Structure 1
Amino acid sequence: MNKLSCTIIALALCVTAVAKTPTQTGDADIRRDAEILLKKQIMAEADWAMQQKPVTITAASSARSAGGLHDFFSEADYFWPDPKNPAGPYINRDGLTNPDNFVEHRKAMIRFSKIIGALASAYQITHDDKYVKQAVAHLRAWFINRETLMNPNLESSQAVKGLFTGRNYGIIDTIHLMEVAQGVIVMEKSRWMDAKTTEGIKNWFSDYTTWLNTSEKGLQEKNVKNNHTTCWTMQVASFAKLCGNKALLDSCTNRFKHILLPNQMGLDGSFPLELSRTKPYGYSIFNLDAMVTLCQILSNPSQDLWAYQTADGKSIKKGISYLFPYIANKSSWPLKADVMYWDNWPVAQPFLLFGAVAYENKDWYSLWVNLDHDPKVEEVIRNLPIRHPLIWM
């Protein structure tokens, strides 16, 4: 064998080694198997979505909202009437959801997310433009049509009777717009996704992302220490990806590496701030899903968050490894059971699938396969913004 041949072989081996990083390939077998597993459910959801008419937040309103018809309104989950002063300001009962809260706007947004996620997934599998045509009607209703659109802010979310007309914590509600944004990315090249519609959608998300980064509530949410700041960053990354805002994407990457991971993760891979809550199991799952989704959104060949590790050894892989045994066997959870919804977790958490692909871990994938892929409990769905993982892969 001559020197030139040896050089070519050596270069080929180097290229192969580089290509084997989690970001660039992951496990193609797991990706393929996941599509096979989910296809029947996706097509059934898409059939349902094809029959749905657009319903936006303008279809329901609350007299308790300080906003207008086009302003998203929700009420803080854990605030209740004060038994000592029933007509006065609400009081906090952490972890206990008030069933009398106004939730219609949140439900409409989750429904919208389910519709677009299903249609985008079906389009990705079949390349049939009929799914895009249906999606466009919903997208225009939410983001473009003046009569039905939602204003690009959350000034009136998570209000508290007698105390606040809106709070920064409500920003977490729009995690359900992430699969809408990702769905648009998947469907963008279809002939039914016309330039005017695409421009209108991107303008809306650009305006909302600006609000997240400049408003008082947006900046307050950015600086919360726990899962709220994780979800703020996850949303900004998702929406910036749709809008092609590289500066914001780079900012989110730096935030993950230098703020979220080092400040929230313990040396063992846990999230101490979530463990201190009255629902430590559910919050730990939720925050890990968000952290892993950030890696899925932001990682690329030049910036691999899957491989990133802090100086003291914190990494997203360590986070998955910490929680995995308690997902596989919940009875081994070392803390008290969550005060609500303990029996409803876990489901098919996206951190298991995304992590399995990134690290080629068949155990994580097998567990994901055997968990519930179609949960019905509203609180679970609300805390599961990634319900159509194929469009992210």
Structure 2
Amino acid sequence: MKLLSILFLFINITSNLFGSNFSSANQNQDIKTFLPPYFIDYSILQETAEKYQNHKEPIYAYSKSLLQEADMWLDSSYSTIVNKTHLPSSGNKHDYYSLGPYWWPDSSKENGLPYIRKDGYRNPERLEYDRPQLGNMIEAVNSLTLAFAISNEDEYKSKAIGFLKTWFINDSTKMNPNLEYGQAIPGITDGRGIGIIETRSLIDVVDAIGILYRKNAFNKYDFEQLQNWFKEYNIWLTTSEKGIDEKNWYNNHGTAYDLQVISFSLFVGDTTTAISILDSVITKRIIKQIEPDGTQPHELARTKALSYSIFNLKSFVQIALIAEKFGRDYWNYESKDGRSISKAITFLTPFLFEGEEWKYQELNKLYELKMNILEVLNISNHKNETLNFDKYLKSYDKTDYEVQKEILIRPQKFLDLN
């Protein structure tokens, strides 16, 4: 493929340019290792599939639960952007349009305009816009793809590809590759750069595409069209006024922006951009967002301080996973004054698992917060010699579907913790 040739040529060139930043192992890797999935361990997924086929417990039972979840999508209609109730100012139904979730009508004004902000409190009016359809597409593609990867049953593959084609390829239903009208505020603005946070979970769609590709599920045209969509979206992210605005945010928005651009860049073969952003993460994100004691001040200022701290950490951890592929160890990085990803994680665990009092605001429930940090703990466990989260991972209920799913797609040492 053209993409593979470009990547191979680039890595040959950059192996000399970056010197010790690329280990010899990385220089000699099969080029497919730079294609997705980036956040799901594909070798573990293959092991899961084998255990499922051989009815090996408890993986077989966990897999059956996952397949049952995927079954719910088999008879559902495809999510599309074109059936929205409200149109953006462009008048184009293919343009993504969403409402700033924390903005509400001003009850003191007859027409409610301009809307006013209530941080942490979601306006149900947002459900009339495109974000729910985007979320459904992402959830469906991920669920169906994992079901296909484990069971090898074509009905899951076909439905997953149908969702992808409807959202990204088919002329009558596809989304235009921009977010010019994301998180609009009635009476104030037609769209904002911070709306880009709403496509953060497209990194999971890229992972799903990678899994389907590795299992030879695509024809050449569909795969190339998906790459073209993400290439165009990535260009918009890195060159548009709203994209640059999001890039310059100093909190979870900026970290999530980096994560998206890194993931999308690698998927379309733009390794130069991916490496450039990876190499800015320490100075631009870790040092500026994490304090020596592990706190994240920009997140602590919110009404969901713990939730946003976890959310930002998830982006850091996922960036660190990709960085490993290029010989960059962000797990063990610590600034001279003690700022690090590992400290940011360990700062949070006493409040989540040991009953320590949280002194900041938090509107969400403890159970939800613990589920949100599960992936962070499982991925980062033992990545740094100071990190050992076994005692926390043991506390999770393995009858919970989300816990079972985590076991199916990542290293299964978690499964052996009693």
What whole-Å deviation, never above 9, does each CA across 1:363-382 have from its counterpart, x for those lacking one? 3432455695549xxxxxxx
- Once the two structures are superposed, the pairs formed by residues 144-223 of structure 1 within 5 Å of their partners are 144-223=169-248
- The answer on whether the counterparts of 1:58 and 1:69 sit within 8 Å (CA) in structure 2 is yes
Which residue identity is paired with 1:72? Y
**What is the aligned-residue RMSD (CA, Å)?**
3.2
Correspondence for 2:79:
55
Q: Structure 2 length as normaliser, TM-score?
A: 0.77
Q: Which runs of 5+ in 2 are unaligned?
A: 1-23, 25-37, 52-57, 412-418
2:285 alignment partner in structure 1: 260
Equivalent position to 1:275, from 296, 300, 312: 300
Q: Quick check: 1:140 aligned with 2:165? A: yes
Look up the match of 1:363: 391
Match of 1:108 among 133, 136, 139: 133
1:1-393 equivalences under 5 Å are 36=59, 38-63=62-87, 66-87=90-111, 88-300=113-325, 302-329=327-354, 331-339=355-363, 344-349=368-373, 350-356=375-381, 358-359=383-384, 361-368=389-396, 373-374=401-402
Contact 2:300 2:360 in 1 (8 A): no
Q: 1:388 to 1:106 in 2, by over 3 A?
A: farther
Show the counterpart of 2:10. Answer: none
TM value normalised by structure 1: 0.81
Q: Bigger CA drift: 117-126 or 259-268?
A: 117-126
Identity %: 31
> Is the CA contact 1:348–1:368 (under 8 Å) kept in the aligned structure 2?
no
Greater mean alpha carbon deviation, residues 287-296 or residues 216-225: 287-296
Q: Which amino acid aligns with 2:245?
A: Q
On the 8 A contact 2:196/2:243 being kept in 1, the answer is: yes
**CA contact 1:261–1:314 (8 Å) conserved in 2:** yes
More displaced stretch, 279-288 vs 215-224: 279-288
Q: Distance in 1 between matches of 2:313 and 2:356?
A: 18
For the 8 Å contact 2:101–2:123, the answer to whether it is kept is yes
Deviates more, 1:45-54 or 1:252-261: 45-54
Contact residue 81 and residue 89 of structure 1 kept, 8 A: yes
Q: Matched residues in 1 for 2:116 and 2:176: separation?
A: 29
Shift of 1:57: 1.1
Distance change >3 Å, CA 389–CA 311, structure 1 → 2: farther
Distance 1:284 1:63, change over 3 A: same
Secondary structure at the aligned position of 2:182 is classed as: strand
Give how far 1:317 is off: 1.8
Asked whether the equivalents of residues 346 and 371 of structure 1 are also in contact (C-alpha less than 8 Å), the reply is no
Q: 2-side partners of 1:389 and 1:165: how far apart?
A: 42
Q: Report the CA distance shift for 1:66/1:328 in structure 2 as closer, same or farther (over 3 A).
A: farther
Q: CA deviation at 1:186?
A: 1.1
Contact 1:183–1:391 under 8 Å retained in 2: no
Instruction: Give the drift of 1:193.
Output: 0.7
- 2:209 partner amino acid: V
Letter aligned with residue 79 of structure 2: V
Q: Following TM superposition, by how much is the alpha carbon of 1:282 offset from its aligned partner in structure 2, in angstroms?
A: 1.2
Structure 1 distance, partners of 2:400, 2:193, is: 32
- Between the two proteins, the alignment pairs up a number of residues equal to 358
In structure 2, the CA distance between the partners of 1:176 and 1:392, relative to structure 1 (3 Å rule), is farther
For residues 371 and 213 of structure 1, the distance between their equivalents in structure 2, rounded to whole angstroms, comes to 42
What whole-Å deviation, never above 9, does each CA across 1:143-184 have from its counterpart, x for those lacking one? Answer: 110000000000011101111000111110101212111100
Deviations 1:331-380 (A, max 9, x none): 423314424567743315311121126356423432455695549xxxxx
Distance 1:53 1:82, change over 3 A: closer
Q: Which residue of 1 is the match for residue 17 of structure 2?
A: none
User: Post-superposition shift, 1:140?
Assistant: 1.0
Worse-matched range after superposition: 64-73 or 275-284: 64-73
Aligned residue identity for 1:160: I
User: Matches of 2:332 and 2:160 in 1, distance apart?
Assistant: 36
Determine helix, strand or coil for the equivalent of 1:59. coil
Contact 1:78 1:94 in 2 (8 A): yes
User: How far apart in 2 are the matches of 1:388 and 1:195?
Assistant: 31
